[in-house]
Amino acid sequence: MIVYFIRRFNLLVTTLFLLSLISFSLAHLFPGDAAINFSGQQSLTYQEYAKLTEELALNESYFVQYIVYMQRVVQGDFGNSFSSDASVLDDFMRVFPASAELSAYALILTAIVGLPLGLWAGVKRNSWIDKVIFSSATIANSIPIFWMGLLLMLLFSLNLAWLPISGRLNLLYEVPSDTGILLIDIALSNLDNKYQIYQDALRHLVLPTITLAILPTTILIGMMRSSVINVMATPYIKAAKTKGLSTFQIIRKHVFRNAILPIIPQFGLLFNTLMTSTMITEFIFSWPGIGHWLIEAIYQRDYPVIQAALLLVSSFMVVINVLSDIVHTLLNPLVRKEING
Amino acid sequence: MANNDIYNEIQYPGPYQLAWAKFRADHVSWVCFCIVIFFIIVAIFAPLVAPYSPTEQNTDYVLLPPSWQNAGDVHFLLGTDDLGRDVLSRLIYGTQITFGLSLLVALAAMVVGLALGALAGMSKGIRASVFNHLLDTILSIPSLLLAIVIVAALGPGLFNTIWAVFLVLIPQFVHRTRIAVQNEFKKEYVTAARLDGANDFQILISSVFPNIIETIILQYSLAVSAAMLDVAALGFLGLGAQQGSPEWGAMLAGSIDLIYRASWLATLPGVTMFLCLLSVNTVGHGLRNALKQRSE
Amino acid sequence: MMNKLIKLWFSTLSISFLLAGCDRAQDTTLANGLIYCSEGNPESFNPQTTTSGITLDASSQQLYDRLIELDAATGDLTAGIATSWQTSPDGKTIDIFLRKDVKFHQTRYFIPSRTLNAQDVVFSFNRWRLSTHPFYSSADSYPHMQSYELDALIKDIEAVSPYHVRFHLNQQSASFLHHLATDYMVILSAEYGAKLELQSSKSQLDNYPIGTGPFYFDNFVKDEFIRFKAHPDYWQGQPHINQLVYDITPQSSSRLAKLITGECDVVAHPVASEMEVLQDKAGVTLQSKNAENVAFWAFNTLKPPFDRAEVRRALAKSIDRQTIYKTIYYGMAFPANSLIPPSSWGYNSNLPHLTYNPEQAKKELRAAGIEEGFELEIWSPHIEREYNPNSLKMAELIQANLAAVGINATIVDYEWSTLRKKLSSHEHDSVLIGWSADMVSPDNFLTATLSCAAAVIGNNRAAWCNPHFDELVKSAMLSDDLNRQKELYMQAQSLLHQEMPIFPIAHSLSFLAKQDNVLNIKFSPYSAISFKHVEKIK
């Protein structure tokens, strides 16, 4: 077991090292001067520039430069944004909770919709209900998410005028940002019209959450379905059936739990899909999160931001992937046995 | 032994034929396969099929609705956009870009990925471990994010997008090939071949590749669909194909400003893209099912 | 477990349906605030440092006051912070008497201890006038003042008494008072400046602004919003709304959609292509302003082959502007034949018309040594400007026109402030941009865009410097005789026509769309948008 954790940890460290290497080399690969790309300070006097070059060790070998870069990264110094002149880390800390919040709700929605539907389809394999669920999942899977977002917007906001289309909250409401997670911030605030603000925040959430959840949901349905089909074919289910348990009891006691376990390591894949969709969803619904931030940074050729975003987002993804792997190991007795045995 | 009884010759279908037969038996997949073929033909013969050039501006016919509407014109079957360009022709040329280039780029990634994957599958020790780590790194970054970063480094543009998608697709092929090759090398027939004196390379070409080709084709269908989505998404975000290019995502992005006045400009590229993606995905599913059924 | 899951599932579904059905409950926050969907990020909050319309819209009229204001309807100068002013007989000394009890903003970063006085006026002018001033170097340039060479015009500014300022000019200038009424001549707080100097955080002067205007600055999050609050002690009386928020929405289709869903009360530059839809839409009103602007295609004359006039003229001939009027402006623009619009008295109506002649253009290009397959970049902003509703589409049209004469054009689109930054370093081949007039006098179209002074500070998009042209415009500005002025402007325009550093495209009407219940937005030529008197009826 310990060997397994050491291996995972080793993988994590190596991967993060490689990511930092890529991120480091970007500052040299991007157009323009490396000193400016690293620091984000554009209007420098000659002395300042010389001092900066010194600080970043740009006259030294790449190895030394990399060490200096890593020291800055560890201190949380990612330089300043070209366009806002604010610290990149501050900007990241502002946009990250917004993305995390949206992704979390989408993930919950995915689980709430995806797991039961996948289960249902799997249990009733090859029935019409399976076909309906499975083919709608395939169809939904083939709709480009940006088109889907547009269609939802067109229908629910512009034609029916039910829901707003942009941002997290009506901008006239001023909610102090303590945690960055809006629904918690509203609760913490001392505003007297909390009820209206909650309502407004939730109305803003509906369309982005649905848009974001569609793709992962279709994937989860597929995973759950095939996992359930595998479980249903196992001897212990047959045994349970011969014991005279009702289908419902079988599903409740055996199928659900056993079908979910093999899905957990694939959670990383689900999360990847979610992150990709987040970029586009945020762009369409002007949701002030990482995707929106990164895409604006590309429009503005804001290299320090792009560089930092790559490092931070992908490190985050790697950590999530490794974590889901470990969780799976801890939860699944079969895998545990394999590793120990 | 010579087979003299030529009349009662029994033909056993080969494994490919078997899979093919299973695939054809699935009507939905078969129809989708035909649609994919249709798109491929359109992509190849776009200049012959399209009634107009995608950039030709018929300034006297601006914002014509599709011809089945009252205000439409039969000369412009699917209407025209705000610069008077024929939408049908643009969609056809768009097939060439979004779908055609995706097919090609996935093919290129497949070839490179196959070679690297085979190498990785056969190598052992520290080299393999470093290589696998590198692969895991790249695989853990969402492909669109990676493509966006590559485009950010290279600068926006269709050519750079294609490069980015190419680089993004390779690791997936490497991953699949590596695992497949490793599995095959464990099998007994490989040991048998080895005992016959075959070296690794010969085993790879004559024994392993024929056995993993189906996995690769499956992965190819996934890659094509991923490539199309990435190319179109980057076009839509304004980071891929240039404004005005008939690339489907870029067409969609360019038409949002006209969504009230000329909704067909946003609908048609979306529908086309959906149809194409759906067909590719369904063919992929069909293939997987056919292979599974055969092995059962 | 399963039962619970199923229950959870259904309850979540029903909650989401309930939410979707809810109507927006009105509370006072929404009724007392206004959301203006603007098209981009301001570069700073000080109009002295820029000519970008977005920055002016976000700062000039909201945060600041000027000594003198311009009445847009009559064209007269009216009292601002100055109650009265007097020009000496030789025109070289101007006495300005200030209003008392003009209060500065009180914000979380600055609490003023005194009201506005002559020191503040001196500080505001010296800031851009004297290169020795502590705040001079905290901005890159002062484009308006420097292209008009106002720093050279003003000899000295003197605070005679706390409410009396005297300007000494080097020479007589008819337009000086009009300059004082432009968006750029805002009055800053000297006390705030002193405080920042002590803290040695000088760049805050422009990014955390303190002024005397109807709203004070609260918060700005790039790419998201700017929040202003009503200035309770505003000398003209507190504004009717408590809060003014700029929702930064670069995509024009999103702005339109947000107007329709009610997320924006006012939107900048509604899409020209959807104007017809908006005109018929209940609950939405359009406000327009005259075409005191010009869209043009500027060639970087520092870069060969664009340094040769024959190349530029040939390129101009290859562009089909009729199509542009139809497909980009939807008929809401006048063809431009010169930089100055035909409505101005300075317009040269005798200029030969620019004609579309691809055959001729092709011949001239070949004669000038531009071969088939020549590569050219067209830079274009991402967003609408009042002179150009869809710059990228226009670039596409031009690209197609150029292809017909054997030139491969590439469109490079930049976000607005990135574009402006890149343009001032003159790396472009050509750019689609324009100019909105900020003064009534016709020279405004020529000086700020094409003078040598503008080329030096990087505001001249063609980087074109022609001493003869400068001479003509300067003498016109100095002349008393209207006919003489006219003649000089004619000559200057003929010279432009000959040299073609920029290819004029159109003078466009520009629009603002708003909800019916929003009243009294000041949206007029020669100045930025103003929400000073805005009201929102319930």
How confident is the model over A281-312, as pLDDT tens digits? 998 888 999 888 988 888 888 888 888 888 88
Q: State the chains in contact with A (3 or more Cβ–Cβ pairs under 8 Å).
A: B, C
pLDDT classification of B2: cutoffs 50, 70, 90: low
Chain C nearest CA to B78, separation (Å) = 19
The hierarchical CATH code for the domain A88-301 is 1.10.3720.10
Q: State the chains in contact with C (3 or more Cβ–Cβ pairs under 8 Å).
A: A, B
Asked whether the beta carbons of C147 and C448 are under 8 A apart, the reply is yes
Q: Which tokens hold the place of A168?
A: 């997290």
Kind of pairing between the strands at C266-268 and C33-38:
parallel
Please report the pLDDT score of residue C127 as a whole number.
93
Asked whether the beta carbons of A48 and A36 are under 8 A apart, the reply is no
pLDDT, tens digit (0-9, with 9 covering 90-100), for C404-433: 899 999 888 888 888 888 888 888 999 999
pLDDT classification of C200: cutoffs 50, 70, 90: confident
- Do A166 and C382 lie within an 8 Å CB cutoff? no
Q: State the chains in contact with B (3 or more Cβ–Cβ pairs under 8 Å).
A: A, C
Q: For B133-153, what is the mean pLDDT? A: 74
Please report the pLDDT score of residue A341 as a whole number.
43
Kind of pairing between the strands at C33-38 and C243-248:
parallel
Residues 6+ apart with CB under 8 A from A94: A177, A180, A288, C221
Chain A nearest CA to B152, separation (Å) = 6
Residues of chain C contacting residue A43, judged by C-beta atoms under 8 Å apart:
140
Q: Alpha-carbon distance C518 to C527, whole Å?
A: 20
Chain A nearest CA to B94, separation (Å) = 16
Phi, psi of A287 (to 5 degrees): -80, 125
Q: Which tokens hold the place of A309?
A: 């975003």
Q: For C505-517, what is the mean pLDDT? A: 90
- Do B256 and C403 lie within an 8 Å CB cutoff? no
Residue bearing tokens 């040991």: B191
Compare C63 and B141 and report the one with higher pLDDT.
C63
Closest CA to A301 of B152, B15, C351, C438: B152
Please report the pLDDT score of residue C398 as a whole number.
92
Residue bearing tokens 């992929």: B284
- Report the residue from A146, A272, A298 with minimal CB separation from B233: A146
Residue B4 reports pLDDT greater than 70? no
Asked whether the beta carbons of B244 and C396 are under 8 A apart, the reply is yes
- Report the residue from A113, A157, A170 with minimal CB separation from C30: A170
- Do C251 and B256 lie within an 8 Å CB cutoff? yes
Residue C199 reports pLDDT greater than 70? yes
Please report the pLDDT score of residue A178 as a whole number.
81
Positions of chain A with pLDDT lower than 50, given as ranges: 341
**Share of residues in chain C with pLDDT > 70 (%):** 95
Residues of chain C contacting residue A228, judged by C-beta atoms under 8 Å apart:
none
Residue C447 reports pLDDT greater than 50? yes
Is the CB of residue B252 less than 8 Å away from at least one CB of chain A?
A: yes
Q: What is the ipTM of this complex?
A: 0.84
Please report the pLDDT score of residue C9 as a whole number.
53
Q: Alpha-carbon distance C457 to A30, whole Å?
A: 27
Burial bucket for residue C355 (CB in 10 Å: 0-12, 13-18, 19+): exposed
Please report the pLDDT score of residue A335 as a whole number.
63
Q: Alpha-carbon distance B56 to B51, whole Å?
A: 11
Please report the pLDDT score of residue C8 as a whole number.
52
- Report the residue from A30, A31, A314 with minimal CB separation from B140: A314
- Report the residue from C271, C400, C411 with minimal CB separation from B257: C271
Round the average pLDDT of chain C to a whole number and report it. 87
Chain A nearest CA to B8, separation (Å) = 38
| Closest residue on chain A to B147 (Cα) | A276
- Report the residue from C322, C327, C390 with minimal CB separation from B62: C327
Q: pTM of the entire structure?
A: 0.85
| Closest residue on chain B to A148 (Cα) | B270
Is the CB of residue C253 less than 8 Å away from at least one CB of chain B?
A: yes
Mutate which: A172, A200, A284, A292, vs C, most C CBs within 10 A: A172
Chain C nearest CA to A153, separation (Å) = 9
- Do B261 and C400 lie within an 8 Å CB cutoff? no
pLDDT, tens digit (0-9, with 9 covering 90-100), for C215-262: 999 999 888 999 999 999 999 989 999 999 999 988 888 888 888 888
Please report the pLDDT score of residue A78 as a whole number.
87
Is the CB of residue C274 less than 8 Å away from at least one CB of chain B?
A: yes
Q: Alpha-carbon distance C377 to C169, whole Å?
A: 44
Residues of chain A contacting residue C20, judged by C-beta atoms under 8 Å apart:
156, 162-163, 203, 206
Please report the pLDDT score of residue C1 as a whole number.
44
Phi, psi of C213 (to 5 degrees): -70, 180
Asked whether the beta carbons of C253 and C486 are under 8 A apart, the reply is no
pLDDT, tens digit (0-9, with 9 covering 90-100), for C485-501: 889 999 999 999 988 99
Closest CA to C386 of C9, C140, C54, C23: C54
Residues of chain A contacting residue C260, judged by C-beta atoms under 8 Å apart:
158, 161
Compare A249 and C84 and report the one with higher pLDDT.
C84
Asked whether the beta carbons of C377 and C430 are under 8 A apart, the reply is yes
pLDDT classification of C114: cutoffs 50, 70, 90: very high
For residue A189, the one-letter residue type is S
- Do B244 and C327 lie within an 8 Å CB cutoff? no
Q: Which tokens hold the place of A285?
A: 């619904």
Residue positions counted in chain A: 341
Report residue B137 CA to chain centroid gap.
23
Residue C10 reports pLDDT greater than 60? no
Residue C26 reports pLDDT greater than 70? no
Residue C21 reports pLDDT greater than 70? no
Q: Which tokens hold the place of A181?
A: 């997670």
Region(s) of chain A under CATH 1.10.3720.10:
88-301
Please report the pLDDT score of residue C23 as a whole number.
45
Compare B49 and A84 and report the one with higher pLDDT.
B49
Is the CB of residue C100 less than 8 Å away from at least one CB of chain B?
A: no
Is the CB of residue C327 less than 8 Å away from at least one CB of chain B?
A: yes
Asked whether the beta carbons of C521 and C227 are under 8 A apart, the reply is no
